[in-house]
Structure 1
Amino acid sequence: MRAFIFPGQGSQSVGMGKALSEASTVAREVFQEVDDALGQRLFRIMTEGPEDQLTLTENAQPAIMANAIATLRVLEKEGGIRLADKAGFVAGHSLGEYSALCAAGALDLATTARLLKLRGQAMQAAVPVGVGAMAALLGADIEKAQGLADAAAQGEVCTVANDNDPSQVVISGHRGAIERAIELVKDHGIKRGILLPVSAPFHCPLMQPAADAMAQALADAALQAPLVPVYANVTAAPVADAETIKALLVEQVTGRVRWRESVVAMFDNGVHEFVEFGGKVLAPMVKRSAQDANATSVISMDDIEALMKGL
């Protein structure tokens, strides 16, 4: 069985989508539809920069989604392939969960773009710049990371935000607590702690104002049951009920991205092939979490054509 997976924030880069749009009318239509939905020239920022504009959370989130969905749409339309025939499940890392839901027909493209724009704005506004921080812990499993977060908190927020794979966990919270955690890594048997260049402390309780904003937006959004179940970040379990999906997307803003657990659960459920669309971040994580799985990143037309032959 196969799962289609979609990357999260950090996978953006200036020039993204340019070659694909030049090679495919289908891709150009996706980028134009996103621009129209947002009322901005996001595709120009994606292809030309400047980089600081692309990395703004409110731009990066819809941009990463647009690039992933364009890649998938080219495969579907030019390859005559239906997602439901080729994938048993979909999943995405953080904002990638929205891409996964769009891919599986639960959200239309314009709605997905607008929700991610709002999500980015709400997450940025939830915490004043400089108050929060995030750090990647290298050589840390979930138990070591949790122990470190508990020790560093000292009355502030310090929690596991992303359980990415057996060797990488990300923590999030108040800047002081995250800085303390980095100083304490060796005491907890962790190789290294690296402060991440992010503008807000995602996936921790400090994001509650953003969760409230998304609860309101999702309540009004048209969301259908997906064509195939989506593995939700916060439960690491498949879900196909529209109202449950909405509730989990709200919970996801402050909750842990249980990516490692999701990959292991999918593998245990018979998924032995993972195809990442629009990025090359998740495939290596998959291989570290489920070593016997096949994981492929699909970005270029060459990648798409190679995948067509293998499906």
Structure 2
Amino acid sequence: MLGYLFPGQGTVRVGMGGWLRRRPAAHDRLREVDALLSRPISPVCARGPLARLVATEHAQIAVTACNLAALTVLDEEGYAPAVVAGHSVGELTALHAAGVLGLADTVRLVETRSRLMAGVGETGGMRAVMGLPVGRVEELAEAASAPGEPVVVALENAPGHVVVSGAVPALDRLAELATAASKIVTLAVGNAFHSPLMAAAVDGWAEAVRASPMRPPVVPVVPNVTGEPTTDVAVLREALIAQLTGRVRWTRTVAVVDETAPGVEVGDSKVLTGLSRRAGARCLSLADPGTLRRLPRTVAA
């Protein structure tokens, strides 16, 4: 058995999905997703331009399309997950993989999510803080925040790899305070995701999520905001809503998945594989051409 890990928005690049388009089943799934969208995403994945692809309204859809296509490859190869999780918007594909969401509802929700988040407008940004424990980054975020200018821990990606999100002046103050950090990197994202600055999108997102039919999962799902496996549909629904402004507890998620089964990154990305290994967890990426040859030995072991 395997733990399926689905990547999120920060993994987009021009040409993404190239290996998937060469697999008939995955190619068909990409075409199916294109048909469900208001505008096809495959041409943007294949040819860009980059500025269009990384925009929030396209990036989330592009990642989800590739995740869904990669999932069909594992289905075709006869694999099934023992547990699933997705990083940020990747949680929608995880819910689909667990049987909670149908394909059309998954695509509709990711299109809604991307539209609502893009519609908030530019309110802030995100920065990766390297080399500090999450507790210390929380202290720095509290010290750097001011009325109307919040900054919070948004992503606990791996030990020593924490992402903060918030108003730009607060991010600047945090950078000045974080003198012991080995590196601080500004992320190329359109806004302050997973922070209170996304509050304007919450009502619309909650309405869309609560209106979507959800079935009990066939395997446990580890939501971002709890980092704990569950098969409770009510918990999964509320966690998906809370995730928009809440923290992605990915370090905990990876540990939980690794306790159950070796992980495989299901998409066109190696980002989660790198984060898993940094946390001491097992993970292979489907974007690595050798992974499908290695999976039988991994499952057997």
**Do Structure 1 and Structure 2 share a fold, with TM-score over 0.5?**
yes
Q: Does 1:287 align with 2:277?
A: yes
Describe the superposition over 1:97-153 as per-residue Cα deviations: whole angstroms up to 9, x where unpaired: 111111122112222122111111111222x32x31111101121111101101110
Q: Across the two proteins, how many residue pairs are aligned to each other?
A: 297
CA distance 1:304–1:40, shift in 2 (3 Å): farther
Aligned residue for 1:76, secondary structure, equals helix
Aligned to 1:108: 102
Partners of 1:218 and 1:136 in 2: how far apart?
29
Q: Could you tell me whether the CA contact under 8 Å between 1:136 and 1:196 is conserved in 2? A: yes
Q: Could you tell me whether the CA contact under 8 Å between 1:163 and 1:260 is conserved in 2? A: yes
Aligned residue for 1:89, secondary structure, equals strand
Q: Give the aligned residue type for 2:112.
A: L
Q: Could you tell me whether the CA contact under 8 Å between 1:273 and 1:294 is conserved in 2? A: yes
Equivalent positions of 1:239-258 (< 5 A) are 239-258=230-249
Aligned residue for 1:275, secondary structure, equals strand
Q: Could you tell me whether the CA contact under 8 Å between 1:19 and 1:300 is conserved in 2? A: no
In structure 1, runs of 5+ residues without a counterpart are none
Q: Does 1:16 align with 2:9?
A: no
Equivalent positions of 1:100-249 (< 5 A) are 100-126=94-120, 128-129=121-122, 131-155=123-147, 156-186=149-179, 189-249=180-240
- Distance apart, 1:219 and its partner CA: 1.4
Q: Name which of 296, 299, 308 aligns with 2:284.
A: 296
Aligned residue for 1:10, secondary structure, equals helix
User: Kindly, what percent of the aligned residue pairs are identical?
Assistant: 37
Aligned residue for 1:231, secondary structure, equals coil
Give me the TM-score of the superposition, normalised by structure 1.
0.90
Aligned residue for 2:125, secondary structure, equals strand
Q: Could you tell me whether the CA contact under 8 Å between 1:148 and 1:184 is conserved in 2? A: yes
Partners of 1:154 and 1:132 in 2: how far apart?
14
Partners of 1:285 and 1:272 in 2: how far apart?
16
Q: Name which of 275, 282, 289 aligns with 2:264.
A: 275
In structure 2, runs of 5+ residues without a counterpart are none
Partners of 1:245 and 1:230 in 2: how far apart?
8
Describe the superposition over 1:254-301 as per-residue Cα deviations: whole angstroms up to 9, x where unpaired: 00000011222334xx32511111110111211222x2x321111266
Partners of 2:290 and 2:257 in 1: how far apart?
27
Q: Give the aligned residue type for 2:61.
A: P
